[in-house]
Amino acid sequence: MARNLETWMPLLLSAAVQTIELMLIAYAIGLVAGAFLVAMRLSTRRWLAATAGAYVTAIRGTPALAQLFFIYFGLAELGLVMSSYQAAIIGLGANAAAYVAEIYRAGIESIPRGQVEAARAIGMRTPMVYRYVVIPQMVTVVLPPLCNQGIVLLKETSVASLIAAPELMLRTRELVAESYMPLELYVIAALMYFALAFPLAQAVRLLEQRLRHPR
């Protein structure tokens, strides 16, 4: 067993790094695209708002796996071929964007209307209202849900293994195919995800407590 671990661990660890990379890139895309989405969602032009709303509903109502399959296999059939890594980044990023947009929206709507009215009453236009009144207060509200979404994204990367994107789950499957030891390997993989996700989850919990009772 120890000898197996010696051969496995370096491979699994490098795959874990790939997982983290994948997660961070998709997350960055999600954070940025989500901001655009929420801007569209809250726009006064109805077709923009409706389109963004439909997108968010479509993403949140379907599994990420189906989205990845469509992007990787479906688009290839229509002529748009890409590597599994690219498909994973686009798919997971587009997926995250929808959830992030909803988090942003909840944050914006948590600011009491009265403050926005007061800001307008002293002559601020919308961009200023956002810059000085909404966003500074929004930050504390959206930070914990955004962090939780990051943790979700980390676990979601495992699904990309099913389109053969290079990350931890795929590497584990390859090792299982070689060694015929699925129990040990999949448990180790699970523990590695745990080692990443659990501390992050506790950190978020601490963050939430600190934000609720700033001392």
Partner 1 sequence: MTALALPTGVDLHLYILGTLLAGAGVTVVCTAGALVLSVAAAALLAGLQSFGGVAARVCVFAYVEFFRAIPVLALLFILYFGLATIGLKMSPMPAAILGLGLNGAAYCTEIFRAGILAVPSGQSEAARAIGMRRWQVMRWIVLPQAVRIVLPALTNLAINILKNTSVASAVAAPEIMFLARNLVNETYLSPQIYLSVCLVYLLISVPMMKLAGWLETRVGVTAAKR
Token pair of 13 as six digits = 């660890």
DSSP-based three-state secondary structure for 215: coil
CB distance 170 to 14 below 8 Å: no
Long-range contacts from 2-10, C-beta under 8 angstroms, 24+ separation: 4/179, 4/181, 4/184, 8/175, 8/185, 8/188
Tell me which amino acid residue 188 is: I
- Does 14 engage in binding with partner 1 (CB under 8 A)? no
Does residue 10 come out as left (phi exceeding 0), alpha (psi in the -120 to 50 range) or beta? alpha
- Does 186 engage in binding with partner 1 (CB under 8 A)? yes
| Binding span for partner 1 by CB under 8 A among 28-36, 41-49, 72-80, 102-110 | 72-80
Query: Which residue, 50 or 58, has its beta carbon nearer to partner 1?
Result: 58
- Does 155 engage in binding with partner 1 (CB under 8 A)? yes
Torsion angle in degrees (nearest 10) through CA of 78, 84, 89, 92: 80
| Binding span for partner 1 by CB under 8 A among 69-77, 97-105, 106-114, 121-129 | 69-77
| Binding span for partner 1 by CB under 8 A among 7-15, 32-40, 130-138, 192-200 | 192-200
Closest CB 119 distance from partner 1, rounded Å: 26
Chain contacts with partner 1 (rule: CB under 8 A): 57-58, 60-67, 69-70, 73-78, 151, 155-156, 158-159, 161-162, 169, 173, 176, 180-184, 186-187, 189-190, 193-194, 196-198, 201
